[in-house]
Structure 1
Amino acid sequence: MKMYLFILSLFFCSIMHAQTTITGSVTDSNNLPIPGANVKVSGDNAGTVTDMDGKFSLTATRKPPFTIEVSSVGFGVKKVDVQSENQKIAVKLTDEENKLDEIVVSASRTPERVIESPVTIERMGLQQIKNTTAASYYDGLENLKEVHFNTSSLSFKSINTRGFATVANTRFMQLVDGMDNSSPALNFVLGNLIGVSELDVANVELLPGASSALYGANAFNGILFMNSKSPFTNEGISTYIKYGQTRQNVAGTNDYWDFGMRAAKAFTKHFAAKANFTYLRGTEWIADDRNSVTDGGIGHGVNQNYDGLNLYGDEVTTFINNVGQVSRTGYREKDLTDNKIESVKADFSLHFKPWANDFEIILQSKIGTGNTIYQGANRYALKNFYMNQNKLEVKGKNFFARVYMTTEDAGDSYDMRFAGWNVNALSKSNTNWFTDYATAFQLSSAILGLNANGASNYARAFADTNMSPGLNLTPNTNPLNPSEPRNARFEPGSTQFNNALKTVTANPDLTQGAKFIDHSEIYHSDVNYNFKDIIKFAEIQLGGSARQYVMNSEGTIFTDYDGPIKYNEFGVYGQLTKKFLEERLKFTGSVRYDKSRNFDGFFSPRVSFVYSAGADKRHNFRASYQTGFRNPTTQDQYIGLDLGPFALIGSAPDNLTRFTEIRQNNVNGVTISAQGQEILGADQVTLSGVNAYQNSYTLSSVQAFDAARNSGQTIAASAALLEKATIGLVKPERVQAFELGYRTIVNNDLSVDISGYYNIYNDFLNQARVYTPYYGDANDTSAGSQAVAAINNKDRRVYQIYTNSRTEVKSKGFGVGLSKKVYKDFELGANYNFAEFEFDQSKDPSFIAGFNTPKHRVKASLGNDKLFKNFGFNVNVRWNTEYLWESSFADGMVPENTVLDAQINYAIPKIKSVLKVGANNLGGKDYIQVIGAGQIGRLYFVSLTINP
């Protein structure tokens, strides 16, 4: 027995002495780490894969010398001789580009090949970033399959996938180095205004469709991941400078400048740092749509109630007896802002690796500031806005934990519609203006004999200028305030106009001003652990997140009159991945539970299968079912904003009592009922959100009531048309997403990607307008009720409230993407997307879907990175059918358009530089993507990029 134990101990000792552990890293030709690369010992079963930083540790069962083989999809295989145990291995793989073989992380939170992803995924790597035909890599994302852009400004572009989005796209997430890029108050992404510099971006991954199972609330219609370079693997100073010109029919020809610099240094193997700075300046795509929102022709010369789409102030309108509906003269958008855009971004990070492994601590700070325009319910000029993100992250081979905060300051930003309204009011109050108009109309018609059109033009000229040729009229004085000035309309560009605009845009009271205040914040934490090195039968991940919103608008946007409003939400998730059938079938199952303070908890499951067929596993079929949800935004819950003609009230339970306002009755002291009966009432009433949500009539029924009364119908007949609004408090909207797909690579040069989806939406977040009577019970629609009397006497208030649609909405679509080497190094790519939706309007007549997506889209590209020595080029073309645009600002048809972009680049090896000349919308006409935004013109640019 002793002899047996002795021999056994020698055997184990021999094994222990035979083991060799080697470490190293794997990078590509650009010195970027390659995660998920396979490292194995030739002729042996020993092997491992690289981590997220391209590093590996391999234990072999033999002593050196021996050979290891390193491989990764999209790269050639490389063999390295290992001569000693202490040998440090550094492997650089040569590209064998095939987009479906690239490694991605976002689809399953673990490295995997694109071809094996369980869901549709698009990726832009360094080569695609270099070859983009757009002025920036972010703009170049528009050429990816499934991506649809909504352009509100030259510097503010909103990404959307699979429909149902406006510029303020709260259904799409954007993560920059793991941080949610959304505005804390607005709850949507501000383009790339606080994103990643193109000098620092390592790759971009896009997941179309729902992804709540892994990424939680608001991962509803898609997620964009932008990942930056590590200073440990990408050192040195790099810079770029771009100069170009924008050309638009309205704005003319203007200069365009873009500059960026990156500095990174690994001071030791344990400490590295980097810094980025970018600056962009240009002239806006000026919005100048003069089409009328109201019925009638374009311009007050033919339509006295004209309301131009990009004119503000002419929304103020009233009915004048014997004249009709009349609107004030508005100001053009281009007069209410200087139309200059500016973007300044900077970020700094410190990276610590205290041990000789992949454990890393990152401290990061990002700031963004500047001027731009975005479109929501109105058009907003963001002036000197500021946004800041600070992060602490700890990560390793199989885990990460991060905390970050996002803060913002609206700066000098303002609402251009209110700017137009209140500049007008500073020159002459609405009461006085309409009084002057009515007086001049009646007298010019009676004395001068002008027809209705001539009298309306004469009256407008008098109300605007205080001049009345032929009548010698003088403006009336205001009996309530005789000292009120009766100025003529301030002409754009005049000293009076400029002073008035400055006054209005500095005042946050929207009854007099246009400025909005915002100092809101988000505090967020994420954690994830992958047990693959502990649990062997399957790959299991657990994770979670927690978030706190802090709304701080000083009562100008939210109902935070008595201090900031705070609320929390959290989520936890788990995922299991396992391969079957000789690793041909990959199963992924995950589930997440989320809870927000104002809503019930919600489970989001996802199940997917990927089957790899063929001898080389190149035919990959995938099927998935997943759910998504979107929590109501901070505005959906806590807004309390008086917009003049109506007010916005959020739907959080405590917000209904937080919001109150005092309204003046049309009849003081006593209210006269519709039947002539006197009802004792007060001069003023106090209304709250409770009245709006629980004691209101639907907009359509009040409109029907008014039409009936105007046609002479009795109060009883008219009252029978009133319908009480039954509005439920807002809750999360949900989507169930089914997807099928197929990916393959044919003859190593043809990539095929086909996908189809079917989505079912429930509890679609929606807005509705209701009429709240100043007095009475809306349940009582009898002819003698106080509520009916209030509606009839115009003692009523319009509220826009937030709720969920009762109808079920469905959408479906499919896409095909092809990429092939057609001749030598020429690569041809093409993709097609189809998308449509359906719902039963009769179940919710007031529901507006806002699909805002073309039914058919085609994109194509042709490029050659090695056209001839040091030269490369790329051409992109995009086409889409016309589509209906619906939003709270404006509705209309977006025309069919075709856009051609092109670039040619020249490498200068001696100075490690690339010179690029490009053009966007080459030879095309101005076109729009958003009704109400400026038409997109042409951009020509030349850039020089210098790399270390």
Structure 2
Amino acid sequence: MRAYLFLLSLLLCGVLNAQNTIQGVVTETNNLAIIGANIRVIGDSAGTITDSDGKFILNTSKELPYEIEVSFIGFESKRISINSKKQQITIVLIEKHNLLDEIVVSASRTPERVFESPVTIERMGIADIKKTASSTFYDGLENLKEVQMNTSSLTFKSINTRGFATVANSRFLQLVDGMDNSSPLLNFVLGNMVGISEIDVQNVELLPGASSALYGANAFNGIMFMNSKSPFTYQGITAYAKYGQTSQKAAGSNDYIDYGIRMAHAFDKHFAAKANFTYMRGTDWFATNYRDKTIAGRDRDHQNYDGINIYGDEVSTNIYTVGQTMVANNLLPSNLAALLPNENVSRTGYNEIDLTNNKASNTKIDLSFHFRPFGEENFEIIWLSKFGFGNAVYQGANRYYLNNFFMQQHKIEFKGKNFFLRGYTTSEDGGQSYDMQFTGININRKWKSDNDWFGQYAGAYSQAYAGLFGPTYTGNASASHAFARAAAETGRLIPGTAAFNNAFNEVISNPDVLSGSKLVDNSKIYHADANYNFKDLISFAEIQIGGSYRKYELNSFGRIYTDANGIINYNEYGAYTQLMKKFLDERLKFTGSIRYDKSKNFEGNYSPRLSLVYSGGEAKNHNFRASFQTGFRNPTTQDQYIGFNVGNAVLIGSAPDNLSRYSETRPVANGSPAVGQLYAGGTSVVMTGDNAYNNSYTASSVMAFAAFAAANPGNTPGAAALLRKTDVNYVKPEEVKAFELGYRSRVKDVIIDISTYYNIYNNFIGSANAIAPLYGKASNTFDFASGAPTYATNPEVQSLHALANGNVRIYQLYTNTDVEIKSFGFGLGLSKKVYKDFELGVNYNYAEFSFDQAKDPSFEAGFNTPKHRVKASFGNEKLFKNFGFNISGRWNDSYLWQSAMVDGMVDSATVVDAQINYNIPSLKSTLKIGASNIGGKEYTQVLGAGLIGQQYFASWTINP
């Protein structure tokens, strides 16, 4: 990497060799400078942009006379003839007030106006980035229509559209300069941690909804394209620096810094290069949700408390069973053991804020070299290398601290007027990342084993309850629990002490989940894709063909996947074609696409798309669109190959070769009656993935079994009748049929965008919780007459003994529901200039889904999306000379959050952001002061993550 930087720095110090140099200025009709206008030479690759004064210097090898074209979004383009080097060039662009004329590529893989797009599309350009009131352009994407942001931490935010939102959003695809930005290990995007610098963004295009027909498996609920600036067009050195503070009740006020630099230069018409460097550092939002994960109203004084942001208290056991084991080992008199309640007790956990330094940081570096063999943009070869590393908190089944996480991407691309061919690789290193839940669990075990802790608890409780420590505790369960916990906590490691820090450092550096918490990862992706457009060879219609190939190399060293004995390899490939043709005086546009994809473990899938766009009205300014497409999503690497012990449960993927690879040894308690080890054939058993899928009960039926047994002692047949054997298929691809109608128009000075969609999901991928007995056979029917009273020859009834005595293992299975899921929504966007240059925009989204939970009680759909969302913005970039401002606000109602870690309600939220900016032409720079969530209530977007407070910043950007 250093070699790249050194080489590029040498290149950027080169001397221009252009034969002709011209200078000029670009303004609008009121004589204000236009910053960032594009100037290009017609028939040549030379180009540049205007600086903060609207001025430009253009170097070209083209001989006089020639033409230049000047363009800027929101203005009509203009061509100027250049006849002399000394010619005074002043260009005045006329505003056209029609954002629908912006050019997008992503909707059809070919350039077209937003107005002509066959599907809903959102766009953010250079001017929008300047206006955003958010601290970064990526945060500003949240103000786009249909976008839902899920904030896991300050540096880790995921984008979602059209429902079923998670932090680990594998249904949404993010491409940066054509490269999938997903983590090879986790199969989802890590926000903008390995993305793009805001001073290098050319534009962002976002397609809500299914896009599998052109982009394959993961473009299931949406896809976003982040495109960077070309060094041939955007040259010079650009830099920015931000300083501010984050403010949160739990964390207080903390400094926030963010700075970056972009260097780009075209040495001649054949060769250009650029480099970007950005660095951000701050303090993360403290996660301090201490509500019990499962029981509403249960507080920390409860003997079996399990707090959301407390780790180590997941370790829980039945205290009566502990007492019986102690009796068998002559460690507790039977009369005292009989006083122990038949209920679970959990160990005392550690707060999340004690298990992480809460520091968030992100460094991004990218280098690219651009070669045009023929001196024109019709054929270009690009080498791009991207590096990203930093700290963040990721939330999945547990909370994980990504500490010095590192990811890199390298791409070679050949592209021309009608084609591209690219190949890239993505690799990552987990650094010193760790699982916070296992950190808490194993720090506890460092100073006292679970057996010793629960033994001391049982002994102290029984003696206190018996009155051996005074009348205060005699027959008093709550006081005896408090006494027992205090006794068992003797020797506890206290956060901040040297002993605690030593134990903490030992645990997070150890990848063995029995004693450590380190996440180990060195996974890779190899990807290639190509596209060719026959529009210059075939005249009756525009036809494209393309395809892709991807290979995964999973290498977590057995920590997350079942790859302890070697790397797991698998691949997938796809091919597509598209036909587009216009009819009726080019008022009606038809687009038809179809794609075939095949993954190693699954049958192939076809994904068609059909769309019609009609341009009505005399000026063709009323756009009506309709589309139908099917999409699919291959199960992720986690769905297929995970074998992750998260403490209280194991996550098991269902690839055929995965089930036997996962195994663990579990201890067996004798129970009451003391025959557990007899049924198990020993003091421990080996459990595999086959137990999870093929010999388990649904978690919901086990809960019903336990509740009935507690209320009806002795009625074992009645309790057993409530049990249901887990009957789930191995995970397979998810499918969607997506229908969309839309309307776009500009009526007078109001831009209108309306869309509505209806999705039908089949084989929806999700999780199901199962509980496997350590011995016996899971069944839906039981013969209580056979083998009574010991049931030694009745495996079905033996499984009931396992359930009743805690001899079980909990699993989260990856599977599909047979129940059809439907989602539907509506979106409305309006924008207009309300007075002179004051711009007002407002959009509304409605989202809902339908799932018959009674048909599949154990399945969690995880829609995780507000039913109602409203967003608005108001601003003026020309309030007076060099001064502009923008205010944005958003509101959402409350909604249900479902995840592997915790379920619950997310409260409604109202958020207001604002910024003012001032251009300083003499310094070629812009000052900006902004704030997010001004004076607002702290809010959450992910249940279990920290509440989001306020963020204030001031930035200084220097333009070329």
Counterpart check, 1:651 vs 2:654: yes
Does the 8 A contact of 2:37 with 2:70 survive in 1?
no
Task: Within 5 Å, give how 1:617-628 maps onto structure 2.
Answer: 617-628=620-631
Equivalent position SS for 2:707: helix
Q: 1:146 to 1:872 in 2, by over 3 A?
A: same
Deviation at 1:291, TM superposition (A): 1.3
Gaps of 5+ in 1: 1-23, 40-47, 55-63, 466-487
Counterpart check, 1:464 vs 2:489: yes
CA–CA separation in structure 2 for the residues paired with 1:616 and 1:572: 38
What is the identity, as a one-letter code, of the residue corresponding to 1:462? Answer: A
Deviation at 1:680, TM superposition (A): 8.5
- The aligned residue for residue 482 of structure 1 is none
Task: Within 5 Å, give how 1:237-316 maps onto structure 2.
Answer: 237-295=237-295, 297=297, 299-301=299-301, 303-316=302-315
Task: Within 5 Å, give how 1:522-921 maps onto structure 2.
Answer: 522-667=525-670, 672=675, 681-710=681-710, 711-747=712-748, 749-779=749-779, 781-783=782-784, 784=786, 785-793=794-802, 794=805, 795-921=807-933
Counterpart check, 1:213 vs 2:216: no
CA–CA separation in structure 1 for the residues paired with 2:679 and 2:928: 77
- The aligned residue for residue 401 of structure 1 is 421
- The aligned residue for residue 193 of structure 1 is 193
CA–CA separation in structure 2 for the residues paired with 1:853 and 1:124: 23
Does the 8 A contact of 2:398 with 2:646 survive in 1?
no
Equivalent position SS for 1:394: strand
- The aligned residue for residue 952 of structure 2 is 940
Q: 1:224 to 1:50 in 2, by over 3 A?
A: farther
Counterpart check, 1:103 vs 2:122: no
Counterpart check, 1:410 vs 2:410: no
- The aligned residue for residue 441 of structure 2 is 421
CA–CA separation in structure 2 for the residues paired with 1:713 and 1:156: 52
Does the 8 A contact of 2:654 with 2:730 survive in 1?
yes
CA–CA separation in structure 1 for the residues paired with 2:142 and 2:69: 38
CA–CA separation in structure 2 for the residues paired with 1:515 and 1:392: 34
Q: 1:434 to 1:828 in 2, by over 3 A?
A: same
CA–CA separation in structure 2 for the residues paired with 1:336 and 1:644: 17
What is the identity, as a one-letter code, of the residue corresponding to 1:846? Answer: S
Does the 8 A contact of 1:368 with 1:387 survive in 2?
yes
- The aligned residue for residue 317 of structure 1 is 316
Note the alpha carbon deviations across 1:487-524, whole angstroms, 9 max, x for none. Answer: x1111111111111111111111121111101000000
CA–CA separation in structure 1 for the residues paired with 2:943 and 2:306: 15
CA–CA separation in structure 2 for the residues paired with 1:513 and 1:457: 29
What is the identity, as a one-letter code, of the residue corresponding to 2:799? Answer: A
- The aligned residue for residue 477 of structure 2 is 452
Does the 8 A contact of 1:673 with 1:786 survive in 2?
no
Equivalent position SS for 1:887: coil
Deviation at 1:827, TM superposition (A): 0.5
Note the alpha carbon deviations across 1:568-587, whole angstroms, 9 max, x for none. Answer: 00000000110000000011
Deviation at 1:661, TM superposition (A): 2.6
- The aligned residue for residue 928 of structure 1 is 940
CA RMSD of aligned residues (A): 2.9
CA–CA separation in structure 2 for the residues paired with 1:194 and 1:207: 21
Equivalent position SS for 2:481: helix
- The aligned residue for residue 330 of structure 1 is 349
What is the identity, as a one-letter code, of the residue corresponding to 1:453? Answer: S
Equivalent position SS for 2:603: coil
Q: 1:73 to 1:228 in 2, by over 3 A?
A: closer
CA–CA separation in structure 2 for the residues paired with 1:573 and 1:30: 40
Relative to structure 2, which stretch is displaced further, 696-705 or 219-228? 696-705
What is the identity, as a one-letter code, of the residue corresponding to 1:655? Answer: N
Q: 1:312 to 1:77 in 2, by over 3 A?
A: closer
Q: 1:673 to 1:722 in 2, by over 3 A?
A: farther
- The aligned residue for residue 9 of structure 2 is none
Normalised by the length of structure 2, the TM-score is: 0.87
Q: 1:251 to 1:944 in 2, by over 3 A?
A: same
Relative to structure 2, which stretch is displaced further, 439-448 or 175-184? 439-448
Relative to structure 2, which stretch is displaced further, 916-925 or 431-440? 431-440
Q: 1:410 to 1:69 in 2, by over 3 A?
A: closer
Deviation at 1:681, TM superposition (A): 2.9
Relative to structure 2, which stretch is displaced further, 760-769 or 243-252? 760-769
Does the 8 A contact of 1:73 with 1:103 survive in 2?
no
Gaps of 5+ in 2: 1-21, 27-33, 50-63, 321-339, 787-793
CA–CA separation in structure 2 for the residues paired with 1:753 and 1:764: 30
Note the alpha carbon deviations across 1:420-458, whole angstroms, 9 max, x for none. Answer: 111111111112112222222233331312232222222
CA–CA separation in structure 2 for the residues paired with 1:442 and 1:236: 77
Equivalent position SS for 2:191: coil
Equivalent position SS for 1:788: helix
Does the 8 A contact of 2:316 with 2:347 survive in 1?
yes
CA–CA separation in structure 1 for the residues paired with 2:211 and 2:46: 24
Equivalent position SS for 2:930: strand
Normalised by the length of structure 1, the TM-score is: 0.88
What is the identity, as a one-letter code, of the residue corresponding to 1:274? Answer: K
Does the 8 A contact of 2:756 with 2:824 survive in 1?
yes
Q: 1:717 to 1:31 in 2, by over 3 A?
A: closer
- The aligned residue for residue 174 of structure 1 is 174
Does the 8 A contact of 1:153 with 1:373 survive in 2?
yes
- The aligned residue for residue 227 of structure 1 is 227
Does the 8 A contact of 1:300 with 1:457 survive in 2?
no
Equivalent position SS for 1:692: helix
CA–CA separation in structure 2 for the residues paired with 1:664 and 1:673: 11
CA–CA separation in structure 2 for the residues paired with 1:66 and 1:253: 57
Deviation at 1:704, TM superposition (A): 3.0
Note the alpha carbon deviations across 1:26-84, whole angstroms, 9 max, x for none. Answer: x996566699x9x9xxxxxxxx9999999xxxxxxxxx999999999843253545989
- The aligned residue for residue 475 of structure 1 is none
Does the 8 A contact of 1:914 with 1:946 survive in 2?
yes
- The aligned residue for residue 366 of structure 1 is 386
CA–CA separation in structure 1 for the residues paired with 2:918 and 2:382: 36
- The aligned residue for residue 360 of structure 2 is 341
Deviation at 1:329, TM superposition (A): 1.3
- The aligned residue for residue 44 of structure 1 is none
What is the identity, as a one-letter code, of the residue corresponding to 1:370? Answer: G
What is the identity, as a one-letter code, of the residue corresponding to 1:397? Answer: K
Deviation at 1:834, TM superposition (A): 0.6
Does the 8 A contact of 1:671 with 1:679 survive in 2?
no
CA–CA separation in structure 1 for the residues paired with 2:796 and 2:685: 13
Does the 8 A contact of 2:163 with 2:864 survive in 1?
yes
Deviation at 1:459, TM superposition (A): 1.9
CA–CA separation in structure 2 for the residues paired with 1:182 and 1:77: 37
Q: 1:589 to 1:332 in 2, by over 3 A?
A: same
Question: Which of 492, 502, 505 in structure 1 is aligned with 2:505?
Answer: 502
CA–CA separation in structure 2 for the residues paired with 1:520 and 1:330: 32
Equivalent position SS for 2:758: strand
Deviation at 1:327, TM superposition (A): 1.7
Q: 1:708 to 1:924 in 2, by over 3 A?
A: closer
